[in-house]
Amino acid sequence: MNDGDDTTPVPASSEGPAQNWPVPDPPDEIYDPTEEGAEAALRYWWELRVYARNTGDTEPLEEFSDEACEICDLQIDRVQEMYESGWFVQEEDVLTGAWVRPMEWDDFEDEAFAIFRLVEGGFDGYWEGSHLGKEPEGAEVAYAAHLQMSDHWTIHNFQIVDEYEEGRSELEDAQ
């Protein structure tokens, strides 16, 4: 653990959660009502998730999550519960294959839809100083996301579409 007034960033480890760890800087694009802005916000949300899991600070994640987003709330709650008496050491998530398009219906101004693949980084869990175990890197999972623009893009909702298995063919899916 970090002692005193030392402001040197210390990463999360078996010794404790990250200390003095800087909040990731938001990309400038997330303030633009464009496809690029929505994709940047999507990638930034997952970066903030890793930050929250390593530090226990969920405030930035909450800022970029809509109040109606159930998966967002679940992720935030999971971090807050763990940090009551423990911490995470979270590896980076890998988001690939993002496809983002604006929703162009009259009732859905400043909204976007995204489909992407994500491999959640592995993590270690610690509770009351004891190692609970290591969760390995997750399977590649396809997600759909709904984003909304106000002052900046926020995640309105996520939905798991399917687990992606390398080499799986359409024939195997049909059987």
Tens digit of pLDDT for each residue in 46-63?
Answer: 999 999 999 999 999 999
Q: Extract the runs of DSSP E, i.e. beta strands, from the chain.
A: 86-90, 94-102, 111-119, 123-127, 130-135, 140-149, 153-163
Confidence bin at 10 (pLDDT 50/70/90): very high
pLDDT tens string 146-165: 999 989 999 999 988 876 55
- Note the pLDDT of residue 174: 33
Mean confidence (pLDDT) of the chain: 88
The domain segmentation of the chain, as residue ranges, is 28-164
pTM for the predicted model, two decimal places: 0.85
Residue 107 has pLDDT above 80, yes or no: no
Give the right CATH number for 28-164 from 3.30.450.20, 3.40.50.620, 3.90.1150.10, 3.10.450.50: 3.10.450.50
Cα–Cα distance for residue pair 33/148, rounded to 1 Å = 9
